[in-house]
Amino acid sequence: MPTRHASLAALHTRLFAALILAGMAALAGPAMSHAAPAPSILTLKTVKVGDPGNPSVGITPFKDAIYRSCKEAPQEAHTPPCQMVGGVKYGYGIGQLEVTVAQGGVPKHRRSLGSQQTQPL
């Protein structure tokens, strides 16, 4: 059976540990609340890209020609392959001007290549 002195020493140790933990939590709370900066808000002007159903056309990079399809484009050796571009399946908005991440005012620690979402107009 523990003596009264041993019981008091154990109680004193537990109270001291609880006091230390409470003090650390009290100091860490305000420090953590200032760690996260406010989110950046960007307002971008967009222009409407319309004419849904506009068909794609075939182009060969670095050539000044447009084809109804890549089947019509000449297949030359040592040139990039034909690409189908320009088709519009639905109306949407696109940025009127190009904006870099640095111009957008986004702090470096908040920059990400996260998923991009588009919404039809």
Closest-CA residue to 110 (of 42, 31, 43, 39): 39
CA angle 66, 78, 72 (to 5 degrees): 30
Query: What does the pLDDT look like over 26-65, one tens digit per residue?
Result: 777 665 656 666 776 777 788 888 778 888 999 998 889 9
Query: What does the pLDDT look like over 72-113, one tens digit per residue?
Result: 998 888 888 999 998 888 888 888 888 777 776 666 655 554
Q: What percent of the chain is predicted at pLDDT more than 70?
A: 74
Query: Could you tell me which residues are beta bridge partners of residue 59?
Result: 66, 83
Query: What pLDDT score does 82 carry?
Result: 92
Say if pTM beats, i.e. exceeds, 0.75. Answer: no
